[in-house]
């Protein structure tokens, strides 16, 4: 089994991308703010950008080695690359676009991707979902040993996005290739990837299974990308943990011992709605709607998920006050230590 090994430094305009990771026959998703270096990392692996230092290798092959002055051209790297704009040739039909990558007919791929009936159609006449499938078929037509997918769902509407995401998930498992997927959506990343890496200004601040990122985020950015509520607070030690006064008002008890400035991480499904009079922590309803069988309540400072139609949920109307409860073990803290934020496990962001 080929393992993709990456350890590179690539200067960018305002920071240096420094990335170290190994990818086996799995899908690893890269998430992070725009401009954090996700696309640059893919392009460096594909051979479209030359790093300033480091090494890239697959199995026993060296694709890039700064010290040995090795830089294998993109066409010799056996990479299937799907760029953000799909990169289809407008003057070629579907079959022609796929044939260009394979240098031979690949009707089997068109059939596999469910687009064989579109073989004579040009890209301008295709829907967003159809273009995405054509681009993926073209990436696979090279018989790649590594697959790189850069925002493959970015141009799709919400319904098509979910459909194509599910189709891609079914396709990736039997391929069993080292795959890197860039996305802005943690939900998509957790659906498709075995591990998720969070990039911030060129640094992979945490690389772990999706569940671990939610349970033990290394930084506030990681927590926010998972959809968590993140608030500033001031912690005071108490028996069994700490009492945290939130910057916007209200108090919480955490089972994590802390003293001084902290950031509080609360996952939306671990918060419980109650009557305002029954809680020391209150907020105001901004919106509420049913989403995928759950009640999503937007408050002024919090987002809360609860089972749709669940018992004990107070009456919700725009502008009405509600109370919030959360178990102390679910109140995660990021602690200020030596001018850095550390997770409750004591891990620094870049570990």
pLDDT in tens, 60-111: 899 999 999 999 999 999 999 998 888 899 999 999 999 988 877 787 888 8
Q: Is the pLDDT of residue 242 over 90?
A: yes
Q: Is the pLDDT of residue 337 over 70?
A: no
- Answer for the pair 114, 87: CB distance below 8 angstroms, yes or no: no
Residues 6+ apart with CB under 8 A from 87: 135
Q: Is the pLDDT of residue 166 over 90?
A: no
Mean pLDDT of the chain: 89
Q: Quick one: CATH architecture of 4-215?
A: 3-Layer(aba) Sandwich (3.40)
pLDDT in tens, 317-335: 899 999 999 999 999 999 8
User: Would strands 27-31 and 179-182 be described as parallel, antiparallel, or unpaired?
Assistant: parallel
- Taking the C-alpha atoms of residue 167 and residue 149, their distance in angstroms, rounded to an integer, is 14
Q: Does the pTM of the predicted model rise above 0.75?
A: yes
**Averaged pLDDT, 128-143:** 88
> In terms of Cα–Cα distance, which of 223, 248, 180, 127 is closest to 21?
180
Number of H helices, E strands in the chain: 8, 22
Confidence of residue 149 (pLDDT cuts 50, 70, 90): very high
More confident of the two residues 347 and 43: 43
**Residues of each domain in the chain carrying CATH 3.40.50.300:** 4-215
How far is residue 307 from each of residues 269, 284, 285, 296, 324, measured CA to CA in Å? 9, 19, 17, 9, 15
pLDDT in tens, 16-27: 999 999 999 999
Identify the pLDDT of residue 338.
39
- Taking the C-alpha atoms of residue 138 and residue 94, their distance in angstroms, rounded to an integer, is 9
CB neighbour class for 291 (10 Å; exposed up to 12, middle 13-18, buried from 19): exposed
Confidence of residue 345 (pLDDT cuts 50, 70, 90): low
- The CATH fold assigned to 240-342 is OB fold (Dihydrolipoamide Acetyltransferase, E2P) (2.40.50)
Residues 6+ apart with CB under 8 A from 17: 8, 9, 10, 11, 37, 40, 41, 44, 202
pLDDT in tens, 200-218: 999 999 999 999 999 999 9
- Taking the C-alpha atoms of residue 233 and residue 259, their distance in angstroms, rounded to an integer, is 10
Q: Is the pLDDT of residue 343 over 80?
A: no
Identify the pLDDT of residue 117.
92
**Residues of each domain in the chain carrying CATH 2.40.50.140:** 240-342
**Averaged pLDDT, 49-64:** 96
Most confident of 104-113, 238-247, 273-282: 238-247
């Amino acid at each position: 089994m080929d393992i993709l090994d990456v350890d590179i430094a690539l200067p960018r305009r305002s920071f240096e991308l420094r990335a170290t990771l190994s990818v086996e026959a799995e899908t690893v998703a890269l998430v992070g703010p725009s401009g954090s270096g996700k696309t640059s990392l893919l392009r460096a692996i594909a051979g479209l950008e030359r790093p300033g230092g480091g090494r890239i290798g697959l199995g026993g092959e060296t694709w890039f080695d700064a010290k040995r002055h090795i830089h294998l051209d993109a066409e010799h790297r056996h990479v299937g690359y799907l760029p953000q704009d799909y990169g289809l040739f407008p003057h070629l039909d579907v079959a022609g676009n796929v044939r260009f990558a394979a240098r031979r007919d690949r009707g089997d791929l068109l059939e596999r991707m469910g687009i064989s009936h579109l073989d004579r159609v040009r890209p301008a006449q295709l829907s967003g979902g159809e273009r995405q499938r054509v681009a993926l078929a073209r990436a696979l037509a090279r018989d790649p040993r590594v697959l790189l997918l850069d925002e493959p769902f970015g141009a799709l509407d919400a319904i098509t996005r979910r459909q194509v995401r599910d189709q891609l998930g079914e396709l990736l498992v039997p391929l069993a290739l080292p795959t890197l997927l860039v996305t802005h959506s943690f939900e998509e990343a957790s659906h498709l990837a075995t591990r998720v890496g969070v990039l911030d200004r060129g640094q992979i601040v945490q690389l772990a299974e999706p569940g671990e990122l939610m349970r033990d985020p290394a930084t506030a950015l990681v927590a926010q990308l998972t959809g968590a509520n993140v608030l500033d607070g001031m912690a005071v030690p108490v028996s069994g943990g700490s009492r945290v006064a939130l910057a916007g008002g209200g108090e919480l008890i955490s089972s994590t011992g802390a003293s001084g400035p902290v950031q509080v991480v609360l996952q939306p499904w671990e918060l419980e709605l109650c009557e305002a009079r029954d809680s020391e922590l209150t907020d105001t309803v901004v919106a509420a709607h049913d989403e995928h069988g759950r009640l999503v309540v937007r408050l002024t400072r919090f987002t809360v998920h609860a089972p749709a139609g669940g018992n004990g949920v107070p009456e919700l109307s725009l502008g009405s006050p509600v109370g919030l409860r959360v178990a102390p073990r679910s109140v995660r803290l990021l602690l200020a230590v030596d001018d850095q934020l550390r997770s409750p496990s004591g891990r620094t962001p870049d570990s």
